[in-house]
A and B are shown apart, each in its own frame.
Chain A
Amino acid sequence: MTQMTVNDAISAALAEEMRRDPSVLIFGEGVATKRRDLLGEFGPARVRNTPLAEGIIAGTATGAAATGLRPVIDLLFAPFLCYAMDEIVNSAGKLRYVSGGQFEFPMVVLAMTGAGWGVGAQHNHNIESWFVHSPGLKVVMPSTPADFKGLLKAAIRDDNPVLVFADIALGYSAGEVPEDIDAIPLGQAALRREGDDVTLVSYAKTVGTCLAAADRLAEAGISADVLDLRSLKPLDEGAILRSVAKTGRLVVVHEASRLCGVGAEVAALVAEKAFASLRAPVLRLTGPDAPAPASFPLEQAFVPQADAVVAAVQSLVHGALAA
């Protein structure tokens, strides 16, 4: 085991995959400036700076992916993807199908998002569910350094476009990463903690929030399954349903806003396929339908906190919503 930050895990995954496969290259805004190690090892053809023009970066990746390369692009902040929506959604996501399967689009889009840096709404916007809703795309949002490394490696090897969102607040968080960690298959949730009374489903930074809440709930005699989705598409439906079948209670926690968010999908899945298991209503703790504020207290208020998770679970087990 090695201690590694999320940012180091991303760098390690990139270097290993570029070493493994000469068709992998990375470009984007400041990529060659910031990733001097990759530039030194792989040279300027495979590690490229680009103009500040997200549309052409994403379009270039899409065209390159269709014709034999395996590009990774760094678009910096998730809201910048709005400039690249046509290329990602209309081309990378659709042209395989539209062409009758003639082309594959093995490419990875990296972007940061989330509260923590006070960068405000045009740099912080959890838009992951937009891409979950778009056919042809896969979406990954890990929470640990090991998962960032393993899932990014899998994303690079995948023959489909994969969006890998990095929660800004996790960039410098460290964790154990096995020396020999390999690609972690997309579409497998990780059970971070086992319990019997409630299922907490989350991803990205709010997994840590759920784990903190679970510690406090344990002190109150309530044990929680904490399920880290890791991959939002494909979604590990089996893991969600197995856990809810065991606990009978579900709280979904994420930073993205509520309406049509991933939590809505998880709740609907459970209502459709595990209704008989439910002992209490499904709850969602999410960000509000508001742009992310820059002000630190407001930014923190945007994100579900452990207190709210504890209160929600207690209401399901002992309170007004208990069966």
Chain B
Amino acid sequence: MTALPPVEALESMMLERMMLIRAYEETLVDLHGRGRAAGTCTAIGQEASAVGVVAALTPDDLILTNHRSAGHLLARGADPGRMLAEVQGKSGGYCGGKSGSLHISAKELGVVLTSTIVGGELALATGVGLSRSMQGGPGIVVCFFGDGAACEGRFHESLNLAAVWSLPILYVCENNQWQAFVHRKETMTADGVAGHAAAYGIDSAVVDGNDPLAVFEAATAAVAAIRRTGKPFLLEAMTYRLRGHFEPDDQSYVDPGELARWRERDPVVLLRRRLERDGLLDASAAARMEESVRARMEAAAAFAEASPYPAPEELTRDVYA
């Protein structure tokens, strides 16, 4: 395992990453609003979970994600320019424009597979875990999914097989309370999904998904357990999707009181406030951070804008190996 940075530096890095994710998704919403990008799903409000988990990983670890993947990719160090280019269907994107916003994967970052069929990533994760297990490499596998995916049969099939075959998988449920247009209270009797783990003999933990340090600590402990035992672990991060399911979405179906309460717990605002309160970040440093993120996003948008569309012959390239 690599040495972890001091907590202050870690928190500061986390804030910068969370600001970048927020700025990226706000840019995406803006591009969509101006007709410059296709419809997309954001995870605004869920940044702490992505950043906290990914900070606990090493470069050997592999990630599977889903349609709300921007945070996971950016937390892993993805180039926002190549991501925006992908979203805009440009050849400079991570997948040459063929993925769009929904299925970005980046092998070079260890973000190996993405499924936008809710629960699809859970079915693939056991295979990546099997490869890891049989090839004897040092890394583990992390699979991000939501509470909606946990209502799919694949969630149970995946946990069962990972337990039976003892696969090194960190299952991360980002419980954002929403399953497309339906609140999880309509689809689940429990408040969360971590309770399912015990039935499969899998250890689990529930963490405040809007507190990146809490997520980091829980993920670090979970990852250490997986590396030690080779067995799966389920971490549930309780968070909230502050925007709608899919752009555009007026959220008219959302209880305004609930939304307001979670806006009060905006993870980017909370972390910044805490760092300022604890004297770890002064106002000018915070402003410089904001400015640096803004400049990065402007450069990213310019890169994406300048990137050419794929050549026509790309239409049928890479269908078959």
Residue A320 is within 8 A (CB to CB) of chain B in the complex: no
- Over the window 81-116 of chain B, the binary record of Cβ atoms lying under 8 Å from chain A Cβ atoms (1 yes, 0 no) is 000000000000111111100010111000011110
User: Known contacts A59-B120, A100-B96: does B161 contact A91 (CB below 8 Å)?
Assistant: no
Chain B positions within 8 Å of A50 at CB level: 161
Contact check, B127 vs A100: say whether CB atoms are below 8 A apart: no
Contact check, A100 vs B98: say whether CB atoms are below 8 A apart: yes
Interface size of A in residues (CB-CB distance below 8 Å): 43
User: Known contacts A60-B126, A97-B98: does B113 contact A55 (CB below 8 Å)?
Assistant: no
Residue A33 is within 8 A (CB to CB) of chain B in the complex: no
Residue B157 is within 8 A (CB to CB) of chain A in the complex: yes
Residue B117 is within 8 A (CB to CB) of chain A in the complex: yes
Provide the bound-state CA to CA distance between A160 and B97, in Å: 22
Provide the bound-state CA to CA distance between A135 and B319, in Å: 7
Interface size classification for chain B:
35 or more
Within 8 A of A (CB), among B115-136: 115, 117, 120, 122-132, 134-135
Contact check, B105 vs A99: say whether CB atoms are below 8 A apart: yes
Contact check, A45 vs B112: say whether CB atoms are below 8 A apart: no
Contact check, B124 vs A96: say whether CB atoms are below 8 A apart: no
Contact check, A101 vs B135: say whether CB atoms are below 8 A apart: no
Residue A68 is within 8 A (CB to CB) of chain B in the complex: yes
Contact check, A100 vs B94: say whether CB atoms are below 8 A apart: yes
Residue A103 is within 8 A (CB to CB) of chain B in the complex: yes
A156 to chain B, nearest CB (A): 14
Chain B positions within 8 Å of A136 at CB level: 319-320
User: Known contacts A56-B157, A90-B117, A100-B99: does B126 contact A67 (CB below 8 Å)?
Assistant: no
User: Known contacts A99-B103, A102-B107: does B127 contact A64 (CB below 8 Å)?
Assistant: yes
Contact check, B130 vs A66: say whether CB atoms are below 8 A apart: no
Chain B positions within 8 Å of A64 at CB level: 127-128, 130-131
Q: Lowest 7 CB-CB distances: which A-B pairs, in order?
A: A63-B127, A59-B123, A101-B318, A159-B321, A100-B95, A100-B96, A56-B157
A-contacting residues of B (Cβ < 8 Å)? Answer: 62, 64, 93-99, 103, 105-107, 112-115, 117, 120, 122-132, 134-135, 153-154, 157-158, 160-161, 164-165, 317-321
B-contacting residues of A (Cβ < 8 Å)? Answer: 25, 45, 48, 50-51, 53, 55-56, 58-69, 71, 86-87, 90-91, 95-106, 135-136, 138, 158-160
